[in-house]
Amino acid sequence: MTTANAYPVTQTIRTIGILGGGQLGMMLAEAAMPLGYQCVFLEDNSECPASLYGHVFHSDQLEDFIAAADVFTLEFENTPTSTVEQLTALSKSGSKQGMFPPLIALDIAQDRLKEKQMFNTLDIATVPFMEVNSEAELKHACKELGLPIVLKTSRGGYDGKGQFVIKQDSDIKAAWLDLKDAVSGKGSLTPTPAPLIAEGFINFSREVSIIAARAQNGQVRCYDLVENHHHHGILAKTQAPAVGTSHLFQQAKDAITKVMNHLDYVGVMALELFVTKDARGHNTILANEIAPRVHNSGHWSIEGAITSQFENHIRAVVNLPLGDTDNVHPAIMVNVLGQYPDISAVLNIDGAHYHSYHKAERDDRKIAHITLMPNDVTDLEPAMAKLVAVLPNKVGLDKEYASIDTQSNKADVDVKDSTKSNVQNNATADDLGNKDSQTDSLTSPSSKSEKAKK
C-alpha cells in the first residue's frame, strides 16, 4: 500500500487519471510505475486490461475518478469531448494539473473533414477530398475527383461501417441512400449531424506512420518511420524502422511537428501516411489521419527504442524531460488477433517478446502483441516465418512467409546433415523491405478504417 511519504516532497503529481482502460491504458500504467506514478482509469468494463494496474471507475463515478487523480490523459480518441471539457476546465481553474492532449486535438481527430482541412491549412498534402451535404454535391464530387472515390461519414463509423466505395455513376444513388442519414444526424453512425466526405483514390506503395512526443515546453522528439500492414482493416504487422524511407523521414517529421505545434499538443501522437509518387516520379508522403494518443504502430518501442512511446507519453503528461527516441535494434511487431498462441512456442523463437492484454478470446480482437528483435538482423525474416507458423490466426502473413519458413527449415536440415558452416538461405532485412515495396496498385487510401483501435 502506498504511504504518505512514498513520494518526494517536490512531486506534486502522484496519480494519473486515464480515460479508457484498454491495453493502451494498461501499457501506460506499466510505464508510469517505474517513474513513481500510479494510475486510475475511467472505464465501464471493470475487468478491462488496465484493471491489473489501478482502480477502475465507472463513468457514473466521474467525480470520484476526478478526485482520485492529479492530472489526466486518454488512451482512446473517441472519448466524449464533454468529459475532456470538464477536465480541461478543472485544469484552468488550478484545481488539477492538466488534461493532455488538449480538447482541440480530440475534436479534430474525431472529424475526418476537419482533419483533412487542418492538414491542408498546414500545407501538408493529403488525398483530394470534398465535403458532401446532398446527393447533388455527391454527383459534383464524383465529377471533380473522378471515379472511383470513397464516400465516408466525417464523424463516427468503424469496422468498415460509415463508408461506401463508388466505382461507377450507377453507385451514386445507393451510396447517398446508405449514408445520407449521417448528414441529418438521424443515423446510428453519428450522434450529431455531420457532412460526408468524398475522398479520391490514389496509387500508393506503402502505408507508414511516424510517432512523436511533445513536451509541455514544446520540445518534440520523433521515432523512426515504420511500415504497417493490415489484414481486413486491422493492423497485422509493423516493421521498425521502415526499410528505405530515410529520405522521407524529414518530411514526416516536419509534418507531425507542424500538427503538434499547431494544436499546442502535449503527449504522444501518431500520424498515418501513404507513400506515393509526386509529379516528378519521386517518392513523397500523403497524410491520412492523426491518432492523439499512443498508437498500435509504436508498440515495438517497448523493447525497440531507448524510451518507449508509453514512457514518453507519461513523461510529457507529468512534465518530465522527454527520453531518447532512437531505435535500439530493427524489430517487427505482430498483433495477436482472436486466439492466443502457445506462449512456449512463441518464446522459443530467439528475440521474441510477448505482451498479453489479458482479454478473452474473440474473433479479430486484439488480445496480445509480439515483438521480434533477434540479435542478428539477418535472422529477422526467419524469426517472422517461425512466428507465423505458430500463430493460430496468421493475420494474412502465412502466404508472405511460407517460402521463407521452408527455406529456413531446409537450412536447418542441411546444417545437421553436412559439415557446412555457412548456410545462406536466410532472407535479409533488405529483402523484406523490397517485398513490402512492390508495385503500386489502385487502392483506396482510406480502405483501412479505424476499426479495432481498442
Digit-coded pLDDT (tens) for 64-85: 999 999 999 999 988 999 999 9
For residue 156, the model assigns a pLDDT of: 81
CA gap 372, 288 in Å, rounded: 27
pLDDT of residue 381: 96
How sure is the predictor about 400, in pLDDT bands with cuts at 50, 70 and 90? Answer: confident
Confidence (pTM): 0.87
Instruction: Name the pLDDT band for 3 (thresholds 50, 70, 90).
Output: very low
Whether the per-residue pLDDT at 264 is higher than 80: the answer is yes
- pLDDT of 92 over the 70 cut: yes
- CA–CA separation, 240 and 187 (whole Å): 40
> Element (H or E) spanning 164, and its range?
strand 163-166
Task: Report the residue count for the chain.
Answer: 454
Residues contacting residue 67 through CB under 8 Å, at least 6 positions apart: none
Percent of the chain with pLDDT over 70: 84
Are 312 and 306 in contact, with CB atoms under 8 Å apart? no
Nearest Cα to Cα of residue 408 among 421, 424, 419: 424
Measured between alpha carbons, how far is 264 from 46 in angstroms, rounded to an integer? Answer: 33
Q: Which of 264, 156, 250 is nearest to 214 (CA)?
A: 264
Q: Are strands 331-337 and 226-231 parallel, antiparallel or unpaired?
A: unpaired
Mean pLDDT estimate for the chain: 88
Per-residue pLDDT tens over the stretch 172-206: 999 999 999 999 988 666 778 999 999 999 999 99
Q: CA angle 135-140-144, nearest 5°?
A: 150
Q: For 179-183, 382-386, 389-393, which range has the lowest pLDDT when averaged over its residues? A: 179-183
Of 151-160, 329-338, 366-375, 425-434, the range with the lowest mean pLDDT is: 425-434
Give the side-chain half-sphere CA count within 13 A for 67.
5
Q: What is the pLDDT of residues 273-310, one digit of tens each?
A: 999 999 999 999 999 999 999 999 999 999 999 999 99
Instruction: Compute the distance between CA of residue 288 and CA of residue 271 in angstroms, rounded to an integer.
Output: 7
Provide the pLDDT for residue 405: 52
